[in-house]
Amino acid sequence: MRKLLLPFLALAAASAHAQIVTNTIDAFSNGQSRNVVDGTVSNTVLAAGAIGGYRSMTLTAANPDEFGNNTQLSVSPTLKLLSLATPSGATANFTVKWGGLGGTNGLGGIDLIAGNATPDQSNLKFSLKEADFSSSFTWAFTDTLSQTASYTSTFPVEAAGAPDLAFSIALSSFTGAINWNSINFITLSGGGVANLDLVLSAPITMETTMTAPVPEPGTWAAAALLAGLAGFIHWRRRRANA
């Protein structure tokens, strides 16, 4: 009987099994910095630990303070932080973009959701370490057919000494139909608030929950019938030996 029950138990175990697959978008392992008093600056660096190997930064600042202090957008590989520092009175907008060679070539169709047909079980994860004002942000993903899906939300005020505020954004919350199995560019943009200081901590990841295929109803019925047959045979043997 024990042997006959093994297929049934295997089916039950398979249906309950789940595995988390993590794709790192950026671990902030390579430093990068842009500074501007008034105007726009951008550059691209070879960034180990970043998806595609290249990270681009664009920073636009306006209304600098009376002392001409810079607005700075930087990645610290030592502290594993992405930081925007805006002087008093100034307003800044930033974009961080991940791509392939030179930052202008795409990622070449990277599969971010572990082969799943839909993004229903995938979440974009990152953490806010500090923010002195509330501000909006937008994530955008573009596939190899130049279709884009985006998500806009708000960073709340976050005290410097408080635990990091974790974000977990379901990809099903994004607006726009794209092929998540063939991503070409990823961008994060934000700012637009005067005197904003904002810090994100590494890593930025995509996590997908992979579950084993659920057996078809007919398969479950066959397994149940097998278990019932095993029970009947066991009962007959006990009766014969009585």
Please check whether residues 4 and 50 belong to one and the same domain. Answer: no
Sign of CA dihedral 98, 101, 102, 105: negative
Please check whether residues 90 and 176 belong to one and the same domain. Answer: yes
Please check whether residues 13 and 31 belong to one and the same domain. Answer: no
Query: Which pair of structure tokens corresponds to residue 148?
Result: 């884009």
Please check whether residues 77 and 101 belong to one and the same domain. Answer: yes
CATH number at 115 reads: 2.60.120
pTM for the model: 0.81
Please check whether residues 124 and 238 belong to one and the same domain. Answer: no
Please check whether residues 90 and 114 belong to one and the same domain. Answer: yes
Please check whether residues 134 and 220 belong to one and the same domain. Answer: no
Helices 2-16 and 217-241, interaxial angle, to 10°? 150
Please check whether residues 6 and 123 belong to one and the same domain. Answer: no
Helix (H, G, I), strand (E, B) or coil at 3: helix
Q: Return the residue matching tokens 């209304």.
A: 63
Integer angstrom CA distances of residue 164 from 22, 141, 156, 171: 20, 25, 12, 22
The predicted pLDDT at position 8 comes to 44
Chunked into runs of 10 residues, the chain (242 residues) has average pLDDT values of 45 59 97 96 96 97 86 98 96 97 91 91 98 98 98 97 96 97 98 97 96 51 50 54 57
Please check whether residues 173 and 75 belong to one and the same domain. Answer: yes
Domain containing 239 equals 1-17+213-242
Sign of CA dihedral 127, 133, 136, 141: negative
Please check whether residues 9 and 47 belong to one and the same domain. Answer: no
Residues 6+ apart with CB under 8 A from 13: none
Domain count, the chain: 2
Please check whether residues 10 and 40 belong to one and the same domain. Answer: no
**Spatial separation of the C-alpha atoms in residues 88 and 102, rounded to whole Å:** 34
Please check whether residues 238 and 181 belong to one and the same domain. Answer: no
By the 8 A CB rule, do 198 and 84 touch? yes
The predicted pLDDT at position 13 comes to 46
